[in-house]
């Protein structure tokens, strides 16, 4: 079973021809609201696309925004451990999505900033604790300490990007980052493989957008190619990858198998609008992989191509 401690935000999404530059006003097409937040997105992905028993620790305001957030998580089968506050609003995010599926996001944390390690439920029965950086850093560190003491594996999606203290990295069993986050944490401007090698975490996974993902697990490397799709909205794709990856590892899958399933789920996520609303079911991911498997390179071929700089 996977426990996620993280953020929940109501996303206000405007579609526009392009993302505005600083000081520029761009007319949008329409406005929609979707349940979001990195923690909640990953919880939905873990449960729905990953098929894992999933619990989530989150903080909300007692307001109208909290209702769709709780409903989306519960509809995905996530067990909620929710802290609710009267004097602060639920988290919100304001997202502009361009016609070429890129996005720009501004987050107002609200109640997410009140989440504490003391809010964690009893940890017996959980295998993984997955966290992100949209909750206080002190909460992340203290929660990781509690999880480690209880025998859980600690996974951290270090997003949004920031420099992390060595004391936190020493508590992380599995670190998931994109290329920008990798540079911020490692402070290494060499190759991706060189930057990964500087980090003390036993396992480091780097997402590469449409190019796939690469993982260093101990002394072993794994590379998963990306899956080509007609992208509509990339919001939530990274979160889908994170949640599904941890779910598959919790199921006992190998890193290579988990990378493949997570990459397929993230690709499917890009074909629908919204964050949680775009997370596919596990059956959809399996069907997608069955259709693509014949033309996909082997894991060894993909790794060799990546290391040669050809992927």
Ranges of residues in the chain whose predicted pLDDT is under 70: 294-311
Which pLDDT value is given to residue 308? Answer: 53
How many Cα atoms are found within 13 Å in the side-chain-facing hemisphere of 259?
Answer: 27
Which pLDDT value is given to residue 232? Answer: 81
Which pLDDT value is given to residue 30? Answer: 86
SS3 content of the chain, % helix, strand, coil (to 5): 40, 25, 35
pLDDT tens across 146-159, in order? 999 999 999 999 99
Beta bridge partners of 30: 15
Q: What are phi and psi of 272, to 5 degrees?
A: -135, 155
Which pLDDT value is given to residue 164? Answer: 92
The domain defined by 2-20+29-307 carries CATH number 1.10.510.10: no
Report whether 120 contacts 150 (CB < 8 A). no
Q: Of 295, 239, 296, 232, whose CA–CA distance to 265 is shortest?
A: 239
Report whether 213 contacts 206 (CB < 8 A). yes
Domain residue limits, the chain: 2-20+29-307
Which pLDDT value is given to residue 190? Answer: 86
pLDDT tens across 33-91, in order? 999 999 999 999 999 999 999 999 999 999 999 999 999 999 999 999 999 999 999 99
Question: In Å, how far from its chain's centre is CA 153?
Answer: 17
Angle at 129 between CA 123 and CA 131, to 5 degrees: 135
Which pLDDT value is given to residue 100? Answer: 84
pTM of structure: 0.89
Whether 173 sits among the annotated catalytic residues: the reply is no
Strands 213-217 and 203-207: antiparallel
Which residue is catalytic, options 30, 99, 100, 239? 239
Which pLDDT value is given to residue 310? Answer: 39
């Amino acid at each position: 079973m996977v426990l996620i401690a993280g953020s929940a935000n109501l996303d206000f999404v405007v579609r526009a021809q392009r993302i505005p530059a600083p000081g520029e006003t761009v007319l949008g097409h329409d406005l929609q609201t979707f349940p979001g937040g990195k923690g909640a997105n990953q919880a939905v992905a873990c449960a729905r696309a990953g098929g894992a028993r999933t619990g989530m620790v989150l903080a909300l305001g007692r307001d109208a925004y909290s209702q769709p957030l709780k409903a989306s998580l519960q509809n995905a089968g996530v067990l909620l451990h929710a802290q609710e506050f009267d004097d602060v609003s639920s988290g919100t995010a304001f997202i502009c999505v361009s016609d070429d599926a890129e996005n720009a996001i501004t987050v107002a944390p609200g109640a997410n900033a009140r989440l504490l390690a003391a809010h964690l439920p009893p940890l017996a029965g959980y295998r993984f604790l997955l966290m992100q950086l949209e909750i206080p850093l002190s909460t992340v560190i203290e929660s990781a300490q509690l999880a480690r003491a209880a025998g859980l594996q600690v996974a951290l999606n270090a997003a949004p990007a920031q420099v992390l203290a060595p004391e936190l990295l020493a508590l992380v069993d599995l670190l998931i980052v994109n290329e920008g986050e990798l540079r911020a944490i490692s402070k290494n401007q060499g190759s991706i493989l060189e930057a990964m090698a500087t980090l003390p975490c036993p396992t480091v996974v780097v997402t590469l957008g449409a190019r796939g993902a690469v993982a260093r697990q101990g002394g072993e490397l794994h590379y998963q190619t990306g899956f080509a799709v007609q992208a509509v909205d990339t919001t939530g794709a990274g979160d889908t990858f994170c949640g599904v990856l941890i779910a598959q590892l919790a199921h006992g899958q190998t890193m290579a198998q988990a990378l493949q399933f997570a990459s397929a789920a993230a690709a499917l996520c890009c074909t629908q609008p919204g964050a949680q609303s775009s997370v596919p079911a596990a059956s959809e991911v399996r069907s997608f992989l069955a259709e693509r498997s014949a033309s996909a390179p082997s894991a060894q071929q993909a790794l060799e191509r990546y290391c040669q700089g050809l992927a």
